[in-house]
Amino acid sequence: MGLFNYTPAEKLNGQTAARPGKRFGNSYFRGFSIVSFLLGWQLLVSFRLLELPSPFETAIVFLDLVVHGDPLYNKTLPEIVWSSLRIVVQACLISILIAVPLGVLMGAVEWFRHYVDAMLEMLRPIPPLAWIPLAYVIFANAGRPTEYVQIFVVFVGAFFPILLDTIHGISMVNRIHVEAARTMGASRKQVLTQIMLPGSLPSIFNGIRVGFGVGWMCIVAAEFVGGKLGIGYYIWSSYSVGGRVAEIISGVIAIGLVGTVMNRFILFLEKRLVPWR
Amino acid sequence: MALILRGVTHQFGDAKVLENLDLQVEEGCFCCVVGPSGCGKSTLLRIIAGLYQPIGGEVLLDDAPPSLEKGEIGFVFQEDALFPWYTVEQNIKFGLKARNFDKEMWDDIIQYNLEKVGLAEYKRYYPRQLSGGMKQRVAIARVLAYNPKLLLMDEPFASLDSINRNMLQADLIDLWSREKKTIIFVTHNIDEAVFLAERVVIMGHKPGRIKRIVDIDLPRPRNRTDSNFCRTRRSILEIIES
Amino acid sequence: MYTGNGIKKVLLVSVLVVIAAMLLSGCSGKKEEKSGQQNVKNDDNLVYLVQTPPPNMLEQLKAKEIDGFIAWEPFGTTAINAGDGKYLFKSPDIWEDHPCCVLAVSQSFKDSKTIEAVTWAHIKAVRFINDPNNKEKVLNYAAEFTGKNPEIVSEALKNITYVEYPAKDEFKEYYNSLEEGKLLKKSVTDIGFADGEKFFDGFLQDSVYKSIADKLDKDPNWKPSSVPGNIKFRIGYLNADLHQLPIYVAEKEGYYRNVGLVAGRTLETKTYQNGVAVMEAFKVKDIDMAYLGGAPATLKRINDDIPIEVVAGANNEGSGLVVRSDLGINTVEDLKGKTIAVPGVGTVQYTLLEKALREKGLRPVIK
């Protein structure tokens, strides 16, 4: 479970049977990976190749930030992370609510796909960060522009992975299932909602997982616009003040941890919600 | 007079798949279609079902073109046609709902049809928990449940091992002799065709057309080792290879 | 009942997650205020701060997302001109002669001739700006430099005092506030100074300035010898920052040219988005000298031990607190419970605001 479990199609069909005893080997290597990373870090510090705090020093600072918080801001690390996470969750949910129906329609209706595709083709390469100034113009009269701009930036980041995987999922729906439903007299709507949608659900989940990941990565950029203290701005602010490398690393670790937990959580949800796999 | 095909022609792109095909299948007839692969057997079934519109000719089912909406047709596919996200029970319900059956009858119909294929206790299983033979039984129960006029079967037993296949063939005959449904059964297995059919339609390919129609009046239950059975099988094989 | 379990579950969970997210986020503005008031009950002397880059403050004030902001010119005047707010106080009201932008040199840059030449051009420019006869010209330069319209620039210029050297005592006061606010990760002893006094003697290096000023006082037309034609001198500044107008005037009035600094040949100018970026440029030896805020200069000088010295000042004061005019905020006490944007923790503007609030018994907290 990690970066590379991109759930390929073979796995969907349950073709990859786990070899007994292999699990132990893998987890052994996982542990070794973390140990060697820390060791490398410690060596870099010991030989003064990089001016970093040691892993141990960082761990102390990290725990202190989690329990007592940063005196500069009077906030604990979980509070700061939560502020960012809220934005990301909201933005990603909006992404799902828009991208999944859009993707289903695009996957199912050909003229609609071409119609929308021409627009999205141009929007897709724009990095989320580039939207900030324009987003400010769009949300200038919307009451809380900063929050909306942040949501918007994350939304843009999460949108395309979800949309593309939804379209992919729809196109991969077994043709036989559609034909079977139609010969049973199912309406177009029934075929769409009861055959196409569940048939593409595994792929959609994959898109959601990637979308959340990208959205979370966008939060640092999104928080550059200022506003409430989130993890992205915390790192930037610590950097501005200077001399706070351990705090910066703690922030980075927090981002990594939350990202991992989020990924696992969505995998867990997928297992519960796609029981037929 | 159940099903009439007149001059049915179809092509994919430039490749002609079916040319000028005439066929008549009476009500209650068990009709097998055999022929080499690529002769358009599956395409023919899909045209009869109304999934494809032929580019020429017409199909009449009880004097009207077949329509998907009416659900007159029960289509059993080769494999994996069960919806994996539904349980056995829900798979059957899908057809009942699409056909607007009275909700109160659903449970009884499901029970009755599952009993018919001997799988009553597997209602709550997901398809992935069933063996290939069981899946095909459920697929048959699924279409029988909404009581279609015409059963179209596209090599439904092709992916099964021979023991399971023989069992399902016997069960299908049993079912047919009780319910007298019109069945069009596509297969490339001549043995299977001779065992099941009252009438065998032999197709040739490039382009797909009907070579000959053979009536089989061997007494049932048929015995595969019987000399008449073997003779019939040989003569059909000769027609195919000619 | 017919719909498959899976689909139903998906819908159910999605709906639950959406509701949960809405609840957690306090989707309506009202809710937010409520929770704010609850906090106030515990300690009703709070003022909420958010950290925001100044260009975004203008948008946020317009949208009433914040109740006020403190920033340097011309942001205050821009907001007021647009009719979005009014000045509650300007920096001299709170802290007279507080330091702001400075001209600094990297300690690794040893070419004293060039340092002298650049400092001379800077002092000439400051004197030019401060000469009332040049008012019109300065206004034009300022408008060109910032790209803002002359009305705003002329208002903004009134709030800025251009100086030749910052007041050492005020710099020390700023340093003390950093120390109290726990913004200093290192002490001056960590970076090799015996005490604060010794640190400031080294950090605020006014000997070059003093000798030039002496000579200019005796002979206003004195100029140092030109730099050799084969050098490549690099100077950094903040893009369109009105506080750093002297660099533009020095170029436009030909002071740089007078000492052999020709843009594109011996002189290379580099612009940066903020003082932090300037300090990073110093660290990696991308620039020899630069204009930047006294705050990032001091913070990063100590915290990250980036060796620079301040050879001249650029301006004192020049910041102000703008508040929405529709809230009836007339005194600092009225800021209680309000949300104010600051450019960042540890900035001079943050220090100013904190000083003003503490004097009235209010406590700033970061939102």
CATH code at position B215: 3.40.50.300
Is C8 at the interface with chain B, CB within 8 A? no
Q: Do the domain assignments include residue B233? A: yes
Same domain? B159 vs B233:
yes
| CA–CA distance, A177 with B86 (Å, rounded to integer) | 12
pLDDT digits (tens, 9 = 90+) for A202-213: 999 999 999 999
Same domain? B183 vs B106:
no
Domain ranges of chain C: 1-42, 43-96+319-366, 101-317
Same domain? B128 vs B157:
no
Helix, strand, coil percent values for chain A (each to nearest 5): 75, 0, 20
**What CATH homologous superfamily does A53-273 map to?**
MetI-like (1.10.3720.10)
Same domain? B130 vs B186:
no
Is A72 at the interface with chain C, CB within 8 A? yes
Chain A: closest CA distance from residue C185 (Å): 6
| CA–CA distance, B87 with C7 (Å, rounded to integer) | 12
Say yes or no for a CB contact (<8 Å) between A275 and C6: yes
Residues of B in contact with A180 (CB under 8 A): 75, 77, 81, 83
pLDDT digits (tens, 9 = 90+) for A178-206: 999 998 888 888 888 899 888 899 999 99
Neighbours of chain C (3+ CB pairs under 8 A): A, B
pLDDT for residue A155: 93
| CA–CA distance, A162 with A168 (Å, rounded to integer) | 10
Residue given tokens 């048959």 in the structure block: B140
Do the Cβ atoms of A181 and C96 come closer than 8 Å?
Answer: no
Do the Cβ atoms of A144 and A152 come closer than 8 Å?
Answer: no
Residues of B in contact with A199 (CB under 8 A): 83, 85
pLDDT for residue A92: 93
pLDDT digits (tens, 9 = 90+) for B55-110: 888 898 888 888 787 778 889 998 778 999 999 999 999 989 888 888 888 889 89
Nearest CB to C185: which of A86, A240, A243? A243
Q: Do the domain assignments include residue B188? A: yes
| CA–CA distance, C98 with C121 (Å, rounded to integer) | 24
pLDDT for residue C26: 43
Same domain? B192 vs B229:
yes
Q: Do the domain assignments include residue B77? A: no
Helix axes A145-171, A197-222, angle to 10 degrees: 150
Tokens read off for A240:
């501005």
Residues of C in contact with B104 (CB under 8 A): none
Amino acid, single-letter form, for residue C208: V
Indicate which of A13, A179, A183 best probes the interface with B, i.e. most B CBs within 10 Å of its own CB. Answer: A183
Is A144 at the interface with chain C, CB within 8 A? yes
- Kindly tell me if the per-residue pLDDT of C73 is higher than 90: no
Amino acid, single-letter form, for residue C24: L
Mean pLDDT per 10-residue segment, chain A (277 residues): 41 45 70 89 86 88 88 85 91 94 87 88 85 82 81 92 91 89 88 89 92 88 79 86 85 91 91 80
Say yes or no for a CB contact (<8 Å) between A179 and B51: yes
Cβ-proximal residues to B75 (8 Å cutoff; 6+ apart), any chain: A179, A180, A183, A184, B45, B49, B143, B152, B153, B154
Same domain? B65 vs B88:
no
Q: How many beta-carbon pairs below 8 A join chains B and C?
A: 13
Amino acid, single-letter form, for residue B212: R
* Residues of the domain holding B158: 3-72+149-241
Same domain? B94 vs B201:
no
Residues of A in contact with B152 (CB under 8 A): 183
Sheet containing B150-154: give its strands across: B73-76, B150-154, B182-186, B30-34, B199-204, B209-215
Q: Quickly list DSSP for C310-334.
A: EEEE-EEE-EEEEE-GGGT--SGGG
In angstroms, what is the C-alpha Rg of chain B? 18
Neighbours of chain A (3+ CB pairs under 8 A): B, C
pLDDT for residue C44: 74
Do the Cβ atoms of C100 and C351 come closer than 8 Å?
Answer: no
Residues of C in contact with A228 (CB under 8 A): 50, 367
Number of domains in chain B: 2
Of the pLDDT bands very low, low, confident and very high (cuts 50, 70, 90), residue B211 is confident
Q: Quickly list DSSP for C174-235.
A: HHHHHHHTT--SS-TTTTT-SSHHHHHHHHB--HHHHHHHHHHHH-TT--PPPPPTT--EEE
Chain B: closest CA distance from residue C21 (Å): 28
Say yes or no for a CB contact (<8 Å) between C2 and B97: yes
Q: Which of B92, B123, B146 is the last residue of a domain?
A: B146
